[in-house]
Amino acid sequence: MESKARKVLGIGALVGGAALAGVGAYLFSKNRDQELGFTNHRERALQLRKETVRGANGMTTTVYRGKIPIRERLGLMQEQIARSVKSPGAIKLARQMTNHCPDRDDACVLRAIYNWKRANLRYTGDIAPHKLEEKDGGKVEPVDVFQSAERTAEFGGGDCDDHSIFGAAMGIINGITMYLRVTAPQMSIRENYEHVYDLGEIDGKQVPIDSTLPGGDFFGITPPHAKMLQVIA
């Protein structure tokens, strides 16, 4: 999650005859508009100019042009999670990685998801700054990529957005209420959020499962931050 990114890419696939759009066809609704601070659809349309490209292999990439506020970015992640939990492949993987846990042992399930992420998902940065297409002004900017849970497993890695989408989807499929938390290293009146991670709720306590932190086992550890914003996944 780079604060200066101006594009967001989503990657999806054709599964069971239905397209799982990447960041995908975001559902426009009055309630979601109000929740995310949009006063009307025109305001959203001005900020989210969308283009979808479909590859020959069934994958789709959806590009949103323009600066996207943090609440809208979280909304895109929530939509990606909602699509992921309907994917048969993601459901199968979520069940398999936790099948050693005793019945109704959410702590074991959350730990199993965290361990699987650390063992199988590499942390990778988003697409580096590069010259954009002329229709985007030819500017040099980085690009954010939000992947579905199934794609992140297939690709074997992603950045903090992708790790969070993956972990949240795996937890939800296993019956755990999950959250997304974005953080900033410094207090500021401007939007300076730089990191996002997933948390699962166990017995009323929110347990972080940030698998992007380097250098050790950080299950249940809250990364340091100056300010944060949190939503249900």
- Answer for the pair 176, 200: CB distance below 8 angstroms, yes or no: yes
What pLDDT is attached to residue 62? 77
pLDDT (average), residues 170-190: 95
- Answer for the pair 17, 154: CB distance below 8 angstroms, yes or no: no
Q: Does pLDDT of 138 surpass 60? A: yes
Give the C-alpha separation, 60 to 62, whole Å. 7
What pLDDT is attached to residue 24? 35
Q: Does pLDDT of 105 surpass 90? A: yes
Give the C-alpha separation, 208 to 233, whole Å. 13
Q: Does pLDDT of 45 surpass 80? A: no
pLDDT (average), residues 119-127: 92
Contacts of residue 45, defined as CB under 8 A and 6 or more positions apart, other chains included, come to none
- CA 186 from chain center: how many Å? 22
What pLDDT is attached to residue 11? 64
What pLDDT is attached to residue 36? 53
Query: Which pLDDT band, with edges at 50, 70 and 90, does 135 fall under?
Result: confident
- Over residues 193-231, the pLDDT tens digits come to 999 999 999 999 999 999 999 989 999 999 999 999 999
- Which tokens belong to 27? 């559902």
Nearest to 82 by CA among 35, 27, 36: 27
The CA dihedral of 33, 3, 217, 87, to the nearest 10 degrees, is 40
Query: Which pLDDT band, with edges at 50, 70 and 90, does 97 fall under?
Result: very high
Q: DSSP string covering the chain, please?
A: --TT--EEEEEEEEETTEEE-SS--PPP-HHHHHHTT-SSHHHHHHH-EEEEEE-TTS-EEEEEES---HHHHHHHHHHHHHHHTT-HHHHHHHHHHTTTSPTT-HHHHHHHHHHHHHHH-EE---EEEEEPPGGGTT-EEEEEEEE-HHHHHHHTEE-HHHHHHHHHHHHHHTT--EEEEEEESS--SS----EEEEEEEETTEEEE--TT-SSS--TTPPPP-SEEEEEE-
Bigger pLDDT: 80 vs 15: 80
Q: Does pLDDT of 180 surpass 60? A: yes
Residues in the chain: 233
What does pTM read for this prediction? 0.81
- Answer for the pair 43, 53: CB distance below 8 angstroms, yes or no: no
